[in-house]
Amino acid sequence: MAELDKPSVRVDTVPGAGARVNNFIRHIIDADLKSGKYALRHWSGQPGPAAQQKGGAADAARIRTRFPPEPNGYLHFGHAKSICLNFGLALDYQGACHLRFDDTNPEKEEQEYVDAIIDAVHWLGFDWQENKYLASGYFQWMYDFAEKLIEAGHAYVDSQTADELRASRGTLTTAGHNSPFRLRTAAENLDLFRRMKAGEFADGTHVLRAKIDMASGNINLRDPAIYRIRKATHHNTGDAWCIYPMYTYAHPIEDALENITHSICTLEFEDQRPFYDWLLARLAELGCVNTPLPQQIEFARLNLSYVVLSKRKLIQLVEEKHVGGWDDPRLPTLVGARRRGFTPEGFRRFSEMIGVTKSDSWIDISVLEDCQREHLNETAPRRIAVLDPVKLVIDNYPEGQEEECLAPNHPQKPEWGKRPLPFSKELWIEREDFMEVPSKGYFRLFPGNTVRLRYGFVVKCLGCDKDAAGKVVAVHCEYMADSKSGTPGADTYKVKGNIHWVSARHSYAGEVRLYDRLFAVEAPGEGGRDFIADLNPDSKLVITAQLEAALGAAAAEDRFQFERHGYFVADRIDSRPGAPVFNRAVTLRDSWAKGK
Ligand code: ATP
Ligand code: MG
């Protein structure tokens, strides 16, 4: 495709780029486009059964994919992989990707989650255009199709107890056996199913089952349940229904009603594919759904070291208050990542890098952190922050005098310009940049040693003041007036240490949160351990740092590199005008790498 060849477009910062790396899913799509498999579909502009679609024009979308979250939790890093893949493929192939809320389960869904999902997909840089749908909007069609299946002899009402149902299903090695209700006539089944819908029966007394094969080698084909009685209020349809479709029945129908071509899901649904295909083939025969039918394609879900992605575990972390909420910057949720300072581009780059495969594997969290670092390195202006301040007094600098030093906003981007850093007699430096008795290989400040104050002067350390407890309260030095960075002759001074600083009179004290990995081990909860026991006790440290004055004007979500410390973002929730609170997104280097 011509657009792919545009050399000026940075592949990894364009939404959809994540889908461009060659993979088996692209091969399937390429073959389908080549064979013209989906070329003659019709699309009415809205989801609907075959009759409605046939009245529409030829579908302008070359492929249709979908991202189908269940609105029962916040999206996490695993969902980001699925979003980048589905929306990315649609963008790349001039198709459409639907955002579909899979809200067929009446019990757990909430509007709060729906809103958060919408925000997260937009934040990642994707848009569904007019294609936002609710699976619960299809309940009537699902019901009508079930009646058609009953009439055609493909479904029956079973009235066995839950225990009987379980016992008759058989095992992986033994066949199941037929229910005594399997021979009910279509008329009898239809009557019972309608009465189920009318609310005549209690939960669990009857189920509607597909009639396939109780001896099938695939347990999922042993007459799976497709409707159950559940007298529950649904967040969208209220009390209109007291029977609800099972996920395995609902999902293929949702895909077919929406003209989806490639229904991409995670590997655990592989064993469900025969039922997916069986169901849609029957519904196509009955004239219910549009053809050609969607195809299910499975890929390996994202597993990340040092991270838990299970919704159940994330809910536990939030409910037991191990973290501050769904948007806690340490959680692997997309709202958390956003607060942490991670970028959508970093996620898209990550998604591109890990690709899609057919076999389960673990990705080290450092791969995601590196992708974030790379993007932040390119885009974050540099600023100075002293996180653990101690005073540096320049004994030979005149009291009351001040001057400007110049610091580049980005070392590789001269076009971003330089900013003035005020210099005066008293500065803040990092406590660790001074040692009264230096260890071997220590090149920073110790009595008699000379270092450069980055972008400023060369100073020679004279000694320090200590309090009664022996703690260093100030370091003294003298400066070389002709050593100012950028002035002629300044580089004749050769020093090994180069430390950062801020002028005490010009800097301000601000809150900084140093976030680290939430879990201290690669596989939290491994070997049956309680995963809570694997929490990293040092995952959040709140400090008061001395910050370069310019940082006081940062707006929420502005991102910076604090030189020598890492990438930081002004917290989007807790920052106040003139008083941003900074969160550390990532350190400059991977401090967790083995062997360091
Ligand atoms: P649950 O099974 O508890 O509902 P879920 O993570 O599957 O959790 P869904 O809302 O059903 O949540 O997921 C929406 C989409 O995201 C699905 O298509 C699913 O395949 C995909 N998805 C979920 N987790 C991952 C993951 N770890 N890696 C890749 N894709 C994922
Ligand atoms: Mg799911």
**Residues 261, 129 share a domain:** yes
Tell whether 375 is covered by a domain. no
Question: Which residue's alpha carbon is nearest to atom 15 within ligand 1?
Answer: 69
The question of whether 273 is a catalytic residue gets the answer no
Rounded to the nearest whole angstrom, what is the distance from the C-alpha of residue 70 to the centroid of ligand 2? 6
The residue whose CB lies within 8 Å of the most ligand 1 atoms, and thus the one to mutate among 25, 65, 66, 70, is 70
**Inter-residue contact 497 to 453 (CB < 8 Å):** no
Domain tally, the chain: 4
Rounded to the nearest whole angstrom, what is the distance from the C-alpha of residue 143 to the centroid of ligand 2? 22
**Residues 179, 120 share a domain:** no
**Residues 520, 499 share a domain:** no
Residue 144: domain span: 140-247
Ordered alpha helix ranges (H), 127-246: 139-151, 162-168, 186-198
Q: Which ligand is nearest to the CA of 82?
A: 1
**Residues 133, 267 share a domain:** yes
**Residues 466, 533 share a domain:** no
SS (H, E, C) 294-343: CEEEEECCCEECCCCCCHHHHHHHHHCCCCCCCCCCCCCEHHHHHHHCCC
Contact 354 CB / ligand 1 (< 6 Å): no
Q: Which of 452, 482, 506 is the last residue of a domain?
A: 506
Question: Which residue's alpha carbon is nearest to atom 14 within ligand 1?
Answer: 69
Tell whether 593 is covered by a domain. no
Q: Is 159 in a helix, a strand, or coil?
A: coil
Tell whether 372 is covered by a domain. no
The number of the ligand 1 atom at minimal distance from the alpha carbon of 269 is: 20
Question: Per-residue pLDDT tens for 31-76?
Answer: 999 999 999 899 999 999 999 999 999 999 999 999 999 998 999 9
The number of the ligand 1 atom at minimal distance from the alpha carbon of 86 is: 18
**Inter-residue contact 67 to 101 (CB < 8 Å):** no
Question: Per-residue pLDDT tens for 315-367?
Answer: 999 999 999 999 999 999 999 999 999 999 999 999 999 999 998 889 999 99
Given the residues 311, 313, 418, 564, the one annotated as active site: 311
The residue whose CB lies within 8 Å of the most ligand 1 atoms, and thus the one to mutate among 72, 76, 81, 82, is 82
**Residues 513, 485 share a domain:** no
pLDDT at 20 over 80: no
Question: Per-residue pLDDT tens for 261-314?
Answer: 999 999 999 999 999 999 999 999 999 999 999 999 999 999 999 999 999 999
Order of all β-strands in the sheet with 508-515 = 382-383, 559-562, 566-570, 582-586, 508-515, 540-547, 385-386
**Inter-residue contact 579 to 555 (CB < 8 Å):** no
Residues 582 and 307: their CA atoms lie apart, in Å, by 23
Question: Per-residue pLDDT tens for 500-522?
Answer: 999 999 999 999 999 999 999 99
* Residue-averaged pLDDT of the chain: 94
**Residues 117, 144 share a domain:** no
First CA to last CA distance, the chain = 45
The CATH number for 64's domain is: 3.40.50.620
Residues 253 and 290: their CA atoms lie apart, in Å, by 10
Burial-class residue 275 by CB neighbours within 10 Å (0-12, 13-18, 19+): buried
Predicted pLDDT at 106: 86
Rounded to the nearest whole angstrom, what is the distance from the C-alpha of residue 311 to the centroid of ligand 1? 9
Residues 28 and 349: their CA atoms lie apart, in Å, by 23
The CATH number for 168's domain is: 3.90.800.10
Q: Which of 477, 506, 535 is the last residue of a domain?
A: 506
Contact 309 CB / ligand 1 (< 6 Å): yes
Rounded to the nearest whole angstrom, what is the distance from the C-alpha of residue 69 to the centroid of ligand 1? 7
User: Of all helices (H) and strands (E), which one includes residue 114?
Assistant: helix 111-123
**Residues 454, 333 share a domain:** no
Q: Which ligand is nearest to the CA of 68?
A: 1
Question: Per-residue pLDDT tens for 214-245?
Answer: 999 999 999 999 999 999 999 889 999 999 99
**Residues 407, 284 share a domain:** no
Range with lowest mean pLDDT among 92-101, 401-410, 431-440, 489-498: 489-498
**Residues 255, 122 share a domain:** yes
Question: Which residue's alpha carbon is nearest to atom 16 within ligand 1?
Answer: 79
**Inter-residue contact 168 to 160 (CB < 8 Å):** yes
Q: Which ligand is nearest to the CA of 75?
A: 1
Neighbours of 433 (CB within 10 A): 22
Contact 68 CB / ligand 1 (< 6 Å): yes
pLDDT at 6 over 70: no
Rounded to the nearest whole angstrom, what is the distance from the C-alpha of residue 69 to the centroid of ligand 2? 7
Residues 558 and 553: their CA atoms lie apart, in Å, by 10
Predicted pLDDT at 21: 63
What pTM did the predictor assign? 0.93
Tell whether 331 is covered by a domain. yes
Rounded to the nearest whole angstrom, what is the distance from the C-alpha of residue 189 to the centroid of ligand 1? 35
In which residue are the tokens 């039918």 written? Answer: 293
Q: Which of 474, 506, 538 is the last residue of a domain?
A: 506
Contact 169 CB / ligand 1 (< 6 Å): no
**Residues 441, 425 share a domain:** yes
Residues 157 and 185: their CA atoms lie apart, in Å, by 10
The question of whether 81 is a catalytic residue gets the answer no
The residue whose CB lies within 8 Å of the most ligand 1 atoms, and thus the one to mutate among 266, 298, 358, is 266
Tell whether 320 is covered by a domain. yes
Tell whether 326 is covered by a domain. yes
pLDDT at 168 over 80: yes
Tell whether 3 is covered by a domain. no
The question of whether 311 is a catalytic residue gets the answer yes
**Residues 152, 39 share a domain:** no
pLDDT at 7 over 90: no
Mean pLDDT of 488-505: 95
Predicted pLDDT at 50: 97
The CATH number for 433's domain is: 2.40.240.10
Given the residues 148, 301, 313, 391, the one annotated as active site: 301
pLDDT at 11 over 70: no
Tell whether 404 is covered by a domain. yes
